[in-house]
Structure 1
């Protein structure tokens, strides 16, 4: 049988340098899923971009052929004209890109950008395209497809923008879909549903899929064939089952060892209770007013957080878990004083067990300056959290300059010390952010947050954009820093395997509400709430014999109206958070 896409002896280089992709070979059959697996910089993405001829200007395909053999004919994609290539891109072959903010136009509404595919390649009218796009938006998990259609990219969360990219690639029903880390920015329940959706579309249309990923759990649930790449070369390839069951190459084994998993019940430590609370969030709600785009419609109230009560013990980690839009980041911003809570809620911060607490949202200017030295944040995206125009040295010393701490020489010495503490060399201070990998940039972000010697660090999805081996390094770094400096972490994540490793207490949020809260050893092995059960069921594991249970995911991740009577809630009827056993709270009707 002739392969739908056949790549032979592909080598790619930049300028006069050595080839970064060397002699790569792989085939993908119609209806088949091929996973390209490896760390950042292994050559996965650039090999796929070569198939669509969307390489950087300085890149050259130095050797090899890329043959597309679909229902419309056979083409060597390295030799056809640009005009012929435009008819293939987005039509016969589509691609889901990893960074949606860079791939979507900030000047056009999401709906128009997705509809453009149907206008250009299908000749659809505006009304026809709108109808198909809204249907696709619903299938990829937009809670309000109409609102998403009329929104600009900056009005959506990272997860929502990624859903729009997936819809854009799939709306034309291509014969080959190249998915470059398509679920990296998504929470696990949405990831499970999107992976299920891609499988369903494959069954309907016979579409082939090239899945570029570092997540072996996703590979185990999706792929029939696997190609493992490292430093531009293929290390191991073949059927998924034998590679995932018994990897032969040491590099593949290394990837498996670094993959995070929810540990066995007896491997989770039981945290000791503490009365020394560094942070308390009491009955915090946050409501935003959304102005309608139509003058005759009234304003809409968005409840980002509702009655959130959380406590963080000094030197411990409180993890807040939930899907995009659940209120995790809003709660963290309120905790840092970046947002004001609605009347009735308060946030208390204690610099030590013996001092009176500070009310974060009622601080004086002097108190706020002191608080900002004690509480810092590490952001989700290491690529956008550092200014591309500032050298690392300037980015690191900026907080010290703002707070007027030390001389210039002392500030630079502190920056060099912090780089070494996070595992980087001090000679990197003169470089710009673009010279670093994603993992190195996240280390730089952590080092910058440490410059003021904080007591509390809010970590907003600090590992979600990183491949598994780098993720392992960052988690180890955070644990070592916590142990040596007695740091307290407010840790936001959608990855339960990461949370199980690092958290002392876990709060699960859905639609602005904490629906379940407990230590990890209780939450993961005795979950009560249907949404918590869905999160655990949606966690992909690198085991081909343990596929994701999509029915259980759909039940818990669906509308609260579909839950059992004991857990069901509406905007007007919300059950209380009830203590089911010591330290284990569940939002339910008693």
Structure 2
């Protein structure tokens, strides 16, 4: 372990609200998965536990609430909780379960990583949040509701009463995460544990949630333990950092020292893998004639939703409006935007999985100069033939692969569906593709659960390559991965693209990833492309307030470059609140106009 400031650590051990010392956790007779871990955090300060999946961060934090898996053994160590007045310390490992129930959600609260899994789908949000007050405070029902509504307003809900009566599935990901924060904060705890609180969120929502946590911390003076693998989040939030790998502490100390001058090789590797928008644009060759493998022209997509009751009117949702862009052969078009912007709908239409509204043209050219095929006009047989040439890499490697199928069956299935090759030829193809993605043929007999997240994503890419496609649609292929694994997968995608002359339609909300891989970028908001152009123009001379918000919201692993929440708030707000030249209400959007060669912006001319 490298300790960048031993004196600070000793001081924290005396004055901290939460102190973990020499913690070891194991399962069965195996070696400990968390070994000799120590950290502590003061009131009003934030400690970040940093490391990849499997490093022991979450287990270490859950031990403070004693909510470990049933098979886990807390083999040694102490977890001491003090109050803000310096009262009698409590060792959380020695007290009874009854006393522990008084502490959970009261003095120590936790924000979990995935709010949809943490919230009950059967109970309204207001009832779930008020449960902490019911258990730990002597308030009547009316007082509980008033306090919850006040907290909902504090965490940024525009209509707290509607949220109080809503079920989790009726809220967006960002709203559910705000509800989780309200649940953790309504009892005003001494210590807040935030376990990857922004991993599943768009960058603009992430920036607003991080700002919210900092504001509430300053208001209530609580200590925060932040579990994350994102060093950009650490730079914006943390006072102190503990870097973990394989259950052990690699390095610890003040954030400015850990991020500014890391000593341990593992920390240096994490810093090197952290994605950033480059400080200067990359040079790209001029393109006189563009060879598009896929073109989407005047594409709209409208959904008609049933009313909540038979007598309620139907709702019309315009998911995509007037999209015009193309994917060049052998290059990458990235489509960027928040959840609900229409990115994935565009991807599904590009694969023929969704049919666009009448009047749209989605043109596919198998070879340069060949006659284009309009995907809107394909019958069943023609669509099946097209899908051999266009495949998709999905966002979540855990749900992409059938858990009941061995790897060889999962890889060979596409060839079986299309009637390609004999069984032995399919196995040979699977072995070849596994080598392409950096995996061994001895993995063919295993099931998906035997692989890490990065390996599963490699398997997903291998499955997409089995039919020898020429177009890959990648839907957030790295968003669920740790930064070091994300770097490996991006490198793999680049190598495969260059080796096979593949074309990519790359869906993402992470501009640092997009800056790395894209040849052209389209920024979408509420179904519209608001800005489009090559990265060297779009990232270094952004025009639209929403593009500026996406760039400003990108957390960087540099303490001297914090997120500018004012720019984020303006660009991520409603179109009616944008500056006058970009402002519009409803469907009355201004045209997408070329401001520089290849650079288009949606504004009033």
CA distance in 1, matches of 2:138, 2:465: 55
Name the CA shift for 1:459/1:291 in 2 (closer, same or farther; >3 Å). Answer: same
Contact residue 140 and residue 193 of structure 1 kept, 8 A: no
Aligned runs of 1:21-40 on 2, under 5 Å?
Answer: 21-40=34-53
Say whether residues 1:431 and 2:446 are aligned partners.
yes
Length-normalised TM-score, structure 1: 0.94
Name the CA shift for 1:141/1:293 in 2 (closer, same or farther; >3 Å). Answer: farther
Say whether residues 1:502 and 2:533 are aligned partners.
no
Q: Find the counterpart in structure 2 of residue 341 from structure 1.
A: 356
Shift, 1:128, TM fit: 5.8
**Structure 1 stretch displaced more, 178-187 or 123-132:** 123-132
Aligned runs of 1:457-536 on 2, under 5 Å?
Answer: 457-536=472-551
Contact residue 281 and residue 535 of structure 2 kept, 8 A: no
Contact residue 437 and residue 492 of structure 2 kept, 8 A: yes
Secondary structure in 2 aligned to 1:367?
helix
Aligned runs of 1:266-277 on 2, under 5 Å?
Answer: 266-270=281-285, 272=287, 274-277=289-292
Q: Residues 406-442 of structure 1, C-alpha deviation per residue, up to 9 Å, x if partnerless?
A: 2222222222222221111111122222211111111
Say whether residues 1:69 and 2:88 are aligned partners.
no
Name the CA shift for 1:266/1:515 in 2 (closer, same or farther; >3 Å). Answer: closer
Q: Find the counterpart in structure 1 of residue 373 from structure 2.
A: 358
Say whether residues 1:305 and 2:320 are aligned partners.
yes
Name the CA shift for 1:121/1:417 in 2 (closer, same or farther; >3 Å). Answer: farther
Say whether residues 1:216 and 2:204 are aligned partners.
no
Shift, 1:287, TM fit: 2.1
Contact residue 458 and residue 490 of structure 1 kept, 8 A: yes
CA distance in 1, matches of 2:42, 2:262: 23
Q: Residues 288-310 of structure 1, C-alpha deviation per residue, up to 9 Å, x if partnerless?
A: 23444366653332221111111
Aligned runs of 1:190-209 on 2, under 5 Å?
Answer: 190-209=205-224
Shift, 1:247, TM fit: 1.0
Shift, 1:229, TM fit: 0.8
Secondary structure in 1 aligned to 2:277?
coil
Aligned runs of 1:146-545 on 2, under 5 Å?
Answer: 152-153=167-168, 158=173, 161-270=176-285, 272=287, 274-293=289-308, 297-545=312-560
Aligned runs of 1:82-97 on 2, under 5 Å?
Answer: 82-97=97-112
Secondary structure in 2 aligned to 1:36?
strand
Q: Find the counterpart in structure 1 of residue 9 from structure 2.
A: none
**CA root-mean-square deviation:** 2.3
Say whether residues 1:80 and 2:95 are aligned partners.
yes
CA distance in 1, matches of 2:155, 2:442: 46
Length-normalised TM-score, structure 2: 0.92
CA distance in 2, matches of 1:360, 1:144: 42
Contact residue 286 and residue 304 of structure 1 kept, 8 A: yes
Q: Find the counterpart in structure 1 of residue 562 from structure 2.
A: 547
Name the CA shift for 1:111/1:437 in 2 (closer, same or farther; >3 Å). Answer: farther
Shift, 1:133, TM fit: 5.1
**Structure 1 stretch displaced more, 97-106 or 547-556:** 97-106
Say whether residues 1:584 and 2:596 are aligned partners.
no
Number of equivalenced pairs: 590
Secondary structure in 1 aligned to 2:396?
coil
Contact residue 20 and residue 43 of structure 1 kept, 8 A: yes
CA distance in 2, matches of 1:330, 1:40: 30
**Structure 1 stretch displaced more, 176-185 or 9-18:** 176-185
Name the CA shift for 1:184/1:267 in 2 (closer, same or farther; >3 Å). Answer: same
Contact residue 281 and residue 540 of structure 2 kept, 8 A: no
**Structure 1 stretch displaced more, 331-340 or 580-589:** 331-340
| Unaligned runs of at least 5 residues, structure 1 | none
**Structure 1 stretch displaced more, 128-137 or 275-284:** 128-137
Shift, 1:400, TM fit: 1.6
CA distance in 2, matches of 1:335, 1:126: 52
Q: Residues 116-147 of structure 1, C-alpha deviation per residue, up to 9 Å, x if partnerless?
A: 44444446666665665566556656677666
| Unaligned runs of at least 5 residues, structure 2 | 1-13
Say whether residues 1:51 and 2:64 are aligned partners.
yes
Secondary structure in 2 aligned to 1:324?
coil
Contact residue 108 and residue 193 of structure 2 kept, 8 A: yes
Say whether residues 1:571 and 2:589 are aligned partners.
no
CA distance in 2, matches of 1:173, 1:438: 36
Name the CA shift for 1:152/1:474 in 2 (closer, same or farther; >3 Å). Answer: farther
CA distance in 1, matches of 2:270, 2:221: 31
CA distance in 1, matches of 2:220, 2:356: 49
Shift, 1:3, TM fit: 1.2
Q: Residues 38-66 of structure 1, C-alpha deviation per residue, up to 9 Å, x if partnerless?
A: 11111111111111112122211110011
